[in-house]
Amino acid sequence: MKRILFVIDSITCGGAEKGLISLLNNIEYSNYDVDLLYFCHENEYYLNEIPNQVHIIEPDLVTQLALSSGGYVLSHVWNFHYLSLIIKRILFGIMGKIDRDSYFRRRAKDWKILRRYIPELEKKYDAAIAYLENYPVYFTLDKVKAKKYIVWQRTDYKKTGCKAEWDLPYFQRADTICVL
């Protein structure tokens, strides 16, 4: 049986999330052991549509603080054990507003700092699939042990404001890049 991991930011109400749910509902589970990891556990719109055979991997608190929404981070502002990470996330949000970076460029910059805090996953996979751009790609290629890495690029890359020089090292490490 092949072990597969899907990584996405969240399962809120969006096109990528709906596409992932559709894909998960069409997998032959007698051949595959499937895990799903998503960072933001707020507004889990599609939670009840995830097939029962899919194992949801709960990210540790550090990963959630590093990669979840600003609201989640602010709800933990009094957790002094992670104060350094929380302050960095708040400052990254402010800096992003000041220098007017695109959402995707800001996340690429932030990852260079945030990745130091995030532990690697223990489990090994036959395939790890980053099902959305930015954090899922960076996390999958930096923090997951897998035989094959697949990047699923679901946006028009040129329109996002991303810089190829930031993402190229990740794209070069992927075994397959799917583009819609």
pLDDT digits (tens, 9 = 90+) for 26-73: 999 999 999 999 998 778 887 888 999 999 999 988 898 888 877 777
Q: Which of 129, 40, 47, 131 is CA-nearest to residue 89?
A: 40
Beta partners for residue 130, in sequence order: 7, 151
The 8-class DSSP code of residue 156 comes to -
Q: Using the Cα atoms of residue 155, residue 158, residue 163 and residue 166 in order, give the sign of their dihedral.
A: positive
At 130, give phi and psi (nearest 5°).
-85, 110
pLDDT digit string, tens, across residues 73-110: 777 777 777 788 888 888 887 777 777 667 777 788 88
How does strand 32-40 pair with strand 55-57? parallel
pLDDT over threshold 70, residue 115: yes
Distance CA 103, CA 134 (A): 10
User: What is the pTM for the complete model shown?
Assistant: 0.90
CA 13-161-22 angle, to 5 degrees, is 25
